[in-house]
Amino acid sequence: MDAKPLSVLLQDLRDERAAEVPFPPGETRVSLTRTRRFAAEPLPMLLDAYERFGPVFTLRLFHSNVVFMLGPAANHYVTVSHASNFTWREGHFRDLIGLMGDGLLTIDGEFHRRSRMIMLPAFHHKHIAAWVDVISEETNRALDELAPGAHLDLYAWTRRLALRVAMRALFGLDPDGELARAVDAAGLFEQGLSFYSSEYLLRILRTPFSPWARMQQAARKLDVIIYGEISRRRATGQRGSDILSLLLDAEDEDGSRLSDRQIRDEVMTLLFAGHDTTTSTVSFMFYELARHPAVVERLLAEQDEQISGQGPTAPQLTSGELEQLEMVLDETLRMYPPAWIGPRRSVEAFEFEGHAVPARAFVNYCSWASHHLPEVFEDPEEFRPERFTPEGRAALAKGAYVPFGGGSRTCIGMRFGQLEVRTIATLLLSRFTLSLADGFKLSVRQMPTISPKHGLPMVVHERARAPAAGLPAAA
Ligand code: HEM
């Protein structure tokens, strides 16, 4: 939503009225209860609508009709085969423009293609070695704070860790350095992001002290840091292995480079897209592991067999050589894909599975709901890493498993995210075993990414050595 939200909302209504074909079946009467329920618990609502209306349906949410397309064929249609009929900037990702400007998540067409081409080399696997060191160093540092008997909120612990990793690896900023401490860049970034988890109706306000005003204030302060760093690096020629350094010199096929403004927007986008997603994945993984001690045993046995006294090797962390861990990661991302919804806007009217969808309609695919369809994943509520054996994976239908999206806009940070989760999980498991705090009951918050709503209180134990018995019982 931009600086004039009301005119945007009115335009949405005009677009809806101008629709030349009807919306797919669904619930299209205005309902505040439905809107509230969707904000609180979208998964059961989407699964219920899928049962009643099939893979393409409409729900009236907030002020407008929103079309949902679920299941393997729908995911493939939106992200791959008909991706060019959908824009990102005019769908609900437009809400991100206020903080992120014109980064990869909010641009389309040729501008997006060129920006992505310029950025891709920064995510090439040859840079991964540098990231392994940064992530391992930060993880070991955070693990040194823990000891058996300690109670911790694993979500908050991982979030701090992921933000430090992001600052160093993406931005080349020392989180303990003078600059970061003087301006609390991490705190400002969290302040900016809190806009996206505030009550939807409050997000429309543009008054002083509104969530929007706080977000803008944080963005202005962050701009001073980011632009300052860009001009310092340009002036001194100083470069490191961080992504900002790579973006400063990156060129596309015609020799074009990113402007300062583009670099600022891309850095902000990467910080946003890159730290919340990995934090949630680590949290949900350890939530499920605490409830499945037999899976922990298999992970520890794998570590004891394959990891030497020097710790995990770079190939073990970068390429998913630890098979048990890989299956646990895949299953975690099936049950809890952090970037759970893919918001788009249709360009032209189209037909899917016998239903017409108008031009300029809000259209979302949804990995979270698609990963919970029983005809695609049997007993979808069960955490079963063995679904993702190499054979199980190969048997999945096209579009069935989309935690990183698909097609030409697949998550650009996928390798980075996977590496980070593998490294944190491997090092944590090699030192400690975690159990859930007594009485903890998970509830899931869904904005901007899905995450444990009230954090993840856990208790730290000595590492249970595989295949020894006596692992802490699941809470
Ligand atoms: C477990 C970790 C992660 C998950 C599950 C994840 C998931 C996703 C998904 C599903 C999309 C596509 C959204 C859509 O189709 O609407 C996406 C896009 C994106 N992700 Fe990630 N992500 C992760 C980590 C990261 C990291 C670490 C970074 C950056 C360092 C990152 C940067 C991006 C960017 C820039 C895009 C937009 C790409 C484009 O449109 O060209 N992500 N991510």
Give the whole-number percent of the chain exceeding pLDDT 70.
Answer: 96
Torsion of CA 353, 355, 359, 362, to 10 degrees: -80
Burial of 209 (0-12, 13-18, 19+ CB in 10 A): exposed
Ligand 1 atom nearest the C-alpha of 275 is 27
Stronger pLDDT, 229 or 150, i.e. the higher one:
150
417 to each of 24, 50, 289, how far by Cα in Å? Answer: 36, 30, 19
pLDDT in tens, 299-333: 999 999 999 888 899 989 998 899 999 999 999 99
Q: What is the pLDDT of residue 1?
A: 55
- Give yes or no for residue 105 CB within 6 A of ligand 1: yes
CB of 79 closer than 8 Å to CB of 406: yes
Q: Whose CA is nearest to atom 37 of ligand 1?
A: 105
Q: What is the pLDDT of residue 181?
A: 66
**Mean per-residue pLDDT, 68-83:** 98
Q: Whose CA is nearest to atom 12 of ligand 1?
A: 405
Does residue 419 have a pLDDT over 70?
yes
For a ligand 1 pocket test, name from 244, 277, 283, 329 the mutation site with the most ligand atoms within 8 angstroms of its C-beta.
Answer: 277
pLDDT band, very low/low/confident/very high, at 471 (cuts 50, 70, 90): very low
- Give yes or no for residue 403 CB within 6 A of ligand 1: yes
pLDDT in tens, 274-306: 888 999 999 999 999 999 999 999 999 999 999
Residue 271 lies in a domain: yes
Does residue 428 have a pLDDT over 70?
yes
CB of 74 closer than 8 Å to CB of 51: no
Q: 339 CA distance to ligand 1 centroid (A)? A: 7
**Mean per-residue pLDDT, 334-357:** 97
Residue 458 lies in a domain: yes
Residue 229 lies in a domain: yes
Does residue 187 have a pLDDT over 70?
yes
Q: What is the pTM of this model?
A: 0.93
- Give yes or no for residue 104 CB within 6 A of ligand 1: yes
CB of 337 closer than 8 Å to CB of 368: yes
Q: What is the mean pLDDT of the chain?
A: 90
Q: 404 CA distance to ligand 1 centroid (A)? A: 6
- Give yes or no for residue 340 CB within 6 A of ligand 1: no
Asked if the peptide bond before residue 467 counts as cis, ω within 30 degrees of 0, the response is: yes
**Mean per-residue pLDDT, 103-131:** 89
Residue 475 lies in a domain: no
Residue 221 lies in a domain: yes
CB of 279 closer than 8 Å to CB of 158: yes
342 has which bridge partners? 365
- Give yes or no for residue 406 CB within 6 A of ligand 1: no
Q: Whose CA is nearest to atom 8 of ligand 1?
A: 404
CATH of the domain at 380: 1.10.630.10
> Distance between CA atoms of 91 and 290, rounded to whole angstroms?
38
Asked if the peptide bond before residue 448 counts as cis, ω within 30 degrees of 0, the response is: yes
452 has which bridge partners? 444
**Mean per-residue pLDDT, 213-239:** 89
- The range of the structural domain enclosing residue 118 comes to 5-462
Residue 473 lies in a domain: no
> Distance between CA atoms of 181 and 279, rounded to whole angstroms?
22
> Distance between CA atoms of 278 and 352, rounded to whole angstroms?
33
**Mean per-residue pLDDT, 84-88:** 97
Q: How many other C-beta atoms can be found within 10 angstroms of the C-beta atom of residue 76?
A: 20
**Mean per-residue pLDDT, 370-388:** 98
pLDDT in tens, 46-68: 999 999 999 999 999 988 999 99
- Give yes or no for residue 281 CB within 6 A of ligand 1: yes
Stronger pLDDT, 350 or 470, i.e. the higher one:
350
- Give yes or no for residue 411 CB within 6 A of ligand 1: yes
Q: 343 CA distance to ligand 1 centroid (A)? A: 13
- Give yes or no for residue 106 CB within 6 A of ligand 1: no
Q: 279 CA distance to ligand 1 centroid (A)? A: 13
Residue 468 lies in a domain: no
- Give yes or no for residue 405 CB within 6 A of ligand 1: yes
84 to each of 98, 109, 114, 312, how far by Cα in Å? Answer: 25, 8, 15, 42
Does residue 272 have a pLDDT over 90?
no
DSSP letters of 271-329?
A: HHHHHHHHHHHHHHHHHHHHH-HHHHHHHHHHHHHH--TT---HHHHHTT--HHHHHHH
Residue position matching structure tokens 């300052």: 228
Q: 405 CA distance to ligand 1 centroid (A)? A: 8
The domain total for the chain is 1
Type of residue at 107: I
> Distance between CA atoms of 179 and 177, rounded to whole angstroms?
6
Q: 358 CA distance to ligand 1 centroid (A)? A: 28
Does residue 407 have a pLDDT over 50?
yes
The pairing of beta strand 56-61 with beta strand 26-27: parallel
Residue 474 lies in a domain: no
- Strand ordering across the sheet containing 457-462: 151-153, 457-462, 432-436
